[in-house]
Structure 1
């Protein structure tokens, strides 16, 4: 009998950061290695990855990293994992090429080259499991689900998926293979839940293509299309419509350039005329009605790029009268307020905004009925809803109950929960491992924590208040009285009284402390901070970050 453990390091009770561990005896199989983009309150943070300390401690047991598709929520954390764990990486041709781009952009992993191509016919035999794959439909070609074959039955990880009967060959789901896996016997199903709380029929990619064609063909001026760089299905539709309407496509983002060129080279994107794609520096050679500008933004986030276009700070493009901004991505709930603000700025600049979601329900994730179809095809004994906020995981569980699954066989786990399989009782919760967020800020990994974020929040809301003075500790006197500098707190010219009184308070506090026999720099600065803080709150009802700078003359 095999010992089986399931652990989610990310991707549960959150959107993005897909990162799951399946342990079979002494072997560890990593399923996806994704990141997520920061929430609004994570000021200054670039990306967020899971805590991988458990994997680092057990690196010798890691058999491999298995990737389902080439989006950042599945491959984005690879460089940080491979910097510590030199495990082989498996994925489809396009997924591996995109993973290589991510890995080679990181100094610590740019020489890593232990990549292995797999497809739906591949089987890889390890000592404790047989790994195989199946084709799924998502917004990027060659998405794969993963099957871990064990003595106790198959463990199936869907990755991000949906069902689309009109999907083209590169995107088609292999329904026959799914039924075959179900007949073999599925012990546990880890299934995408990102759209579980909706039963609205998602538009097929054929319908989306028709909608994009209509919008582009009906507009007579310049068109700026905002998309996610790795949503190759959407980019293909934009290319097709551009070619049909005699327009050229300008790629403005570094990510888009890399991903699109890679996909074209691998023939996963079809471009009939190589002259279709125009470099930004050559835009001036064409009339405005001949152009489609494809904005994907840094790290695939187009909204910030649109904001810069609207206020005239974009490197290549400024929105003006007659422009159509066509947003063909589906924003998450957390981004709705950002979309509204950017939309307002575009109208102020003279542009017009159209969202694809105004007319169609668009998603790369299965709705409730599709999730039930997946369960019916695979017939799992146990279900782990993953990839989604808690409400979505809970909705997925309710859908499984409708199909007759027992509630005790459905597990809404938290990050880090260790779920151990028992043939009699199913999966039992046996403790947890650290699985918090690790924030990446520039080149710094993990040194931005809650305290740093709290300080950034204070600085962003109430500003900083700096008090500088010089003392002679031996003579117990102030050599240079307090001088005040402030940023983001008050308008200096209209608040001179507050600044002068604050300086007086600082001088009196320091003089009083110097008259004592004991002396401690930390204690002195804390006193100055407390006294000035009380005064400023009384005067303004605000709490700026107060930074005492006390120097000593010897």
Structure 2
């Protein structure tokens, strides 16, 4: 009997950060390696990636990394894993090219080149398993599901998918292949749950394309389109609509330029004419009604950049009267507050906001009927809902039960939970500790909860710096305490508060100088404690308190 384990390191009970580990005997197969964008309380964090400790410990057993599609939630963390583990990476032609952009843009992995292009006909044989693929429909071409064949049955990972009967050839699902996989016997199905709460029929991409064209034709001013850089289906629709409405397209960022150029080179994007895309300099010679500005933002998140445009902080675009801000993706519930704030800023700047979801139901993920169809085609013995917060995983589990999968064969996993095949069934056999790894600039994992807590306090209550110079040998204060406030109170109108704070610091210092067992750490902590207590009594606020104690041998005159 084969030893089979399934361990999610991300992508369960959260949005994004997909990475699933399948262990078959001694071989480890990594399915996707994605990131997620920070939540509101993660101040200053650029992105969140999975904890790779489990894989690093077993790096000699990793057969490869298998990518389902080219979005950041599937490939964004790849450079950080390859920095620790040098193993082959497999994906479709476009997925591999997008992954290469990520990997080569990261200094520590720019020389990595062990990529392998697969398609729906590829079968890769390993010692204890074989890996094959099937075409799926998503918002980026060449999306693939992944099949691991074992002696106990097949493990199927859908990746992100939906069913669209009118999809163009590059986006079509291979239904015959799905049925073939199901006939062979599926041991476990790992299926996308993102849209499991919705029973609404999503508009076909043809209907979405018509909506984009209508919007472009009937708007008389400039249009700024907010999209995700790797949503190539939407970008193609923007190009086509711009051409039909006699407009030119300006790409505003390096990320989208790289992705668009790559997709055009591979034939995954087509330009209606060679003059459609113009540069920032060329746009100055065009009238507003001739322009479409495609804004995808840094790493594919456009909302921050829209706020800069609205507040006049963008490097070359400022939202003005008559501009339409057209949001062509459906924002997740996690960023609803940010969307509302962005809309308010746009209207203040004189623009108008329209979201594509105002008029059509848009999603790149399967609704309830699609999810049931996938399960009926696969007929899995065991079912594992993935990709989404707990509530959508639970809803997907209910749908699985509706199509005949008993609840005892359905597993709603958390990060690090271990599913193991024993005595003819999958069982939970334990878990490993898996934390979020925070990326801030060039720092990887050096920001933890304590730093985030301090950032939150700084953002809410500010900082107090208490600086003082002492002569420890003479047990005297050389220079009196100087209190500086940033983001806490306006110092000119708080003289008494600052004076009292300085007196408290000097009292604490003098008391500690008299102690036989003088300790710098204890002194600083007592300053923090007593000053914090006093400031809270006076203001009901708790600023970060930073004692700065300098030592001098100079005698006080």
Scaled to the shorter chain, the TM-score interval is over 0.9
- 1:158 Cα deviation from its structure 2 partner: 0.2
Residue 433 of structure 2 corresponds to which residue in structure 1?
434
**Superimposed CA distance per residue, residues 425-445 of structure 1 (whole angstroms, 9 cap, x where no aligned partner):** x21111112211000111111
Residue 454 of structure 2 corresponds to which residue in structure 1?
455
- 1:517 Cα deviation from its structure 2 partner: 1.9
Tell me which stretches of 4 or more aligned residues in structure 1 moved more than 6 Å. Answer: none
- 1:334 Cα deviation from its structure 2 partner: 1.1
Q: SS state of the match for residue 275, structure 1?
A: coil
- 1:253 Cα deviation from its structure 2 partner: 1.3
**Superimposed CA distance per residue, residues 158-204 of structure 1 (whole angstroms, 9 cap, x where no aligned partner):** 00000001110000000110000000110000000000011111111
In 1, Cα distance between equivalents of 2:517 and 2:156:
67
- 1:279 Cα deviation from its structure 2 partner: 1.1
- 1:454 Cα deviation from its structure 2 partner: 0.6
**Superimposed CA distance per residue, residues 229-250 of structure 1 (whole angstroms, 9 cap, x where no aligned partner):** 0000000000001111111000
8 Å contact 2:146–2:157 — kept in the other structure?
A: yes
- 1:363 Cα deviation from its structure 2 partner: 0.7
Asked if residue 158 in structure 1 is aligned to residue 131 in structure 2, the reply is: no
Residue 496 of structure 2 corresponds to which residue in structure 1?
497
8 Å contact 1:252–1:316 — kept in the other structure?
A: no
8 Å contact 1:153–1:185 — kept in the other structure?
A: yes
Q: Which consecutive unaligned segments of at least 5 residues does structure 2 have?
A: none
Q: SS state of the match for residue 285, structure 1?
A: coil
**Superimposed CA distance per residue, residues 498-546 of structure 1 (whole angstroms, 9 cap, x where no aligned partner):** 0011001111111122122220000011111111111100100000000
Residue 444 of structure 2 corresponds to which residue in structure 1?
445
In 1, Cα distance between equivalents of 2:448 and 2:165:
45
Kindly report which structure 2 residues correspond to 1:336-351, keeping only aligned pairs within 5 A, or say none: 336-351=336-351
8 Å contact 1:139–1:233 — kept in the other structure?
A: yes
**Superimposed CA distance per residue, residues 53-79 of structure 1 (whole angstroms, 9 cap, x where no aligned partner):** 111111010000000000000000110
Asked if residue 513 in structure 1 is aligned to residue 478 in structure 2, the reply is: no
Residue 536 of structure 2 corresponds to which residue in structure 1?
537
In 1, Cα distance between equivalents of 2:353 and 2:472:
65
8 Å contact 1:53–1:434 — kept in the other structure?
A: no
8 Å contact 1:383–1:410 — kept in the other structure?
A: yes
Residue 35 of structure 1 corresponds to which residue in structure 2?
35
Kindly report which structure 2 residues correspond to 1:109-148, keeping only aligned pairs within 5 A, or say none: 109-148=109-148
In 2, Cα distance between equivalents of 1:39 and 1:246:
39
Residue 280 of structure 1 corresponds to which residue in structure 2?
280
In 2, Cα distance between equivalents of 1:339 and 1:97:
31
Kindly report which structure 2 residues correspond to 1:75-474, keeping only aligned pairs within 5 A, or say none: 75-424=75-424, 426-474=425-473
Task: State how many pairs are aligned.
Answer: 553
- 1:272 Cα deviation from its structure 2 partner: 2.4
- 1:302 Cα deviation from its structure 2 partner: 0.6
8 Å contact 2:162–2:365 — kept in the other structure?
A: yes
Residue 482 of structure 1 corresponds to which residue in structure 2?
481
In 1, Cα distance between equivalents of 2:552 and 2:315:
49
Q: SS state of the match for residue 51, structure 1?
A: coil
8 Å contact 2:239–2:272 — kept in the other structure?
A: no
**Superimposed CA distance per residue, residues 14-40 of structure 1 (whole angstroms, 9 cap, x where no aligned partner):** 000000000000000000000101111
Normalization by structure 1: what TM-score?
Answer: 0.99
Q: SS state of the match for residue 532, structure 1?
A: helix
In 1, Cα distance between equivalents of 2:362 and 2:465:
50
**Superimposed CA distance per residue, residues 140-161 of structure 1 (whole angstroms, 9 cap, x where no aligned partner):** 0000000001111110000000
**Superimposed CA distance per residue, residues 299-330 of structure 1 (whole angstroms, 9 cap, x where no aligned partner):** 10011111011011111210111111111011
Residue 56 of structure 1 corresponds to which residue in structure 2?
56
In 2, Cα distance between equivalents of 1:345 and 1:79:
35
In 1, Cα distance between equivalents of 2:355 and 2:491:
44
Residue 522 of structure 2 corresponds to which residue in structure 1?
523
Q: SS state of the match for residue 380, structure 2?
A: coil
Q: Which moved more, 1:137-146 or 1:266-275?
A: 266-275
